[in-house]
Amino acid sequence: MSEVKKGLSRRSFLKGTGAALAGAALGGKFATQGIFAPNVVRAQAEVVLAVQEFVHDILRQVLPQFEEDTGFTVTLEGGPVSGNDMLTKYSTAFASGSSPIDLFSDADDSSPTFMRAGWLEPLNDVIPQETWDDFPPSMQPHIDGFLSIEGERYRIPHEFAVGYFFTRKDWLDEKGIASPTSWDEVIEIGKMFTDPATGVWGTTDGLVKPALLSVYVQYLTAQAGGTLFDFDEGTGVALQFLYDMMHTHKIFPEDALNQDYTAQNELYMADKVAFMRQWPYFQGVAEGNTEWYADEKVVIELPPAGPAGSKSWIGGWGWSIPKFAPNMEGAKALIQFLTSKEIAPILAAQQGFLLTPRYSILEAMPQDDPLVQAMAFYAENDVFAPRAFHPRVAEAQTVVDDMASLFLTNQASLADVLKQGKQLIEDLNE
């Protein structure tokens, strides 16, 4: 068994090495020199940064240094937690040629729309080439598809997320059974724990529309050897398997289709779920709940294998600047600060949502950090699957959401949703 499977925890790191790293950086050379050279124009002007609220406290640890170095002040605004919500919140303003924010955390499923509409500021001249070279070559197809148009980049990742498989190791140990290695074993073992009377379930995920349902379907589709937006045989296998987990074996919560990631996390930390696919940020959420989290309680393991193996698709979030940012100078300075080799590792060490596999970040982080080890572990086992790309990805995901929902709620047959879904995707392509 890999070391990743032995109850690894970042708690000791965050209290020791991580704190020392942050203290040295913020109280050492950068306090006297600043990350920016003296030629940066100092101006008392507000920079509005929109990012998910669960990382605000982490950012507040470094932002005072930015403000001291540049003279700008930073206001944090809560950002949407899905690409669809991102489109809803900002499209109207961007379409009118205005923006309420200067910099924001943008998602894979929203940035292609923003890019193609001409609503984002190009970053090739903002982010130095050495920073782009800091990403491994394996990320280049993702950068080319979800972050770029004809070589011009419009978003720089601050997170390159993998759907990790979180397991209640303590539950398995109590029963003296090994972790599941296939989805058939997830069903078999999940039944051992499922008890609707007490609200305990074998597995769960955020399946609420929009977007979250399609995320899980893509997860299963990759393992089935299909391509999500093709509505091919692999998509059919994935949908049928999810249906069986929900309706035949009943190891999913009864209200799973109304469950977002927050509800999913809360259910898991309420000791109600054995297995969960979730993004890396959950490690920080779990460890932040000190009354619940303990070493050897929750571990990251390889995804259970489907017909095409243990595939887990990759995606992420990154920093983008609206074309209409009121404080363009401040936005560019802040994005340079947050992605610098000095600051990015500090942020990544404390929140998985701010971890992306840049060489400089991974090298700066403790090698016993579970997220670093998990990333290496997944890479060694070749479980990374590229995310399905579509130029109108948010709309394509909506098609998947709608078709999957019809099938899972017994409103249409599998054959019908595959046929209709394929036609709707073809219509988007025209």
**Cis preceding linkage at 370, omega within 30:** no
User: Is residue 50 a part of any domain in this protein?
Assistant: yes
Residue 135 to residue 121: CA distance in whole angstroms:
21
Residue 40's pLDDT is what?
Answer: 46
422 and 338 housed in the same domain:
no
pLDDT of 369: 78
Reading the block at residue 304, the tokens are 């259970």
Taking CA atoms, 241 is separated from 39, 83, 259, 320, in Å, by 59, 26, 19, 37
Query: What's the pLDDT score for residue 419?
Result: 97
Q: Which domain holds residue 236?
A: 164-278+390-429
Looking at the structure, do residues 98 and 138 belong to the same domain, yes or no?
yes
**pTM for this one?**
0.76
In a domain, 294, yes or no: no
- Is 216 among the domain residues? yes
Which CATH number characterizes residue 403's domain? 3.40.190.10
According to DSSP, the residues that pair with 168 across neighbouring strands are 298
My answer on whether 169 and 121 are in the same domain is no
Q: Is 383 part of any domain?
A: no
The continuous run of DSSP H or E covering 254 comes out as none
As for how many domains the chain has, the answer is: 2
DSSP H or E run through 65: helix 63-70
178/274 same-domain check: yes
d(CA 170, CA 54): 27
The reply to whether 285 falls in a domain is no
- Structure confidence at residue 375 (pLDDT): 80
- Answer yes or no: do 102 and 219 share one domain: no
Tell me the C-alpha distance between 179 and 202, whole Å.
12
Give me the DSSP letters along 261-284: HHHHHHHHHTT-EEEEEE-THHHH
Residue 356 within a domain: yes
Domain assignment present for residue 16? The answer is yes
CB atoms near residue 193 (< 10 Å): 19
* 273 and 420, same domain (yes or no): yes
CA distance 179 to 173: 9
> What pLDDT does residue 241 have?
96
pLDDT at position 302 is 92
Q: Which neighbouring-strand residues pair with 172?
A: none
Is residue 339 included in any domain, yes or no? yes
49 with 80, same domain?
yes
Q: Using DSSP, state whether 62 is helix, strand or coil.
A: coil
> In sequence order, what are the residues at sequence separation of 6 or more whose Cβ sits closer than 8 angstroms to the Cβ of residue 31?
65, 68
Give, for all 430 residues of the chain, the pLDDT tens digit. 333 333 323 332 233 333 333 433 444 334 334 555 434 444 459 999 999 998 999 999 999 999 999 999 999 999 887 777 888 999 999 999 999 999 999 998 899 999 999 999 999 999 999 999 998 887 888 888 889 999 999 999 998 888 999 999 999 999 999 999 999 999 999 999 999 999 999 999 999 998 899 999 999 999 999 989 999 999 999 999 999 999 999 999 999 999 999 999 999 999 999 999 998 889 888 988 999 998 789 999 999 999 999 988 888 899 999 999 999 999 999 999 999 999 999 998 888 788 888 888 888 888 887 778 888 888 788 888 878 888 888 899 999 999 999 999 999 999 999 999 999 999 998 7
Question: Are 145 and 192 found together in one domain?
Answer: no
55 and 198 part of one domain: no
Same domain, 211 and 101: no
Residue type for 211, please?
A
Would you tell me how many other CB atoms lie within 10 Å of the CB of residue 291?
A: 6
Residues 207 and 329 in one domain: no
The answer to whether residues 174 and 68 belong to one domain is: no
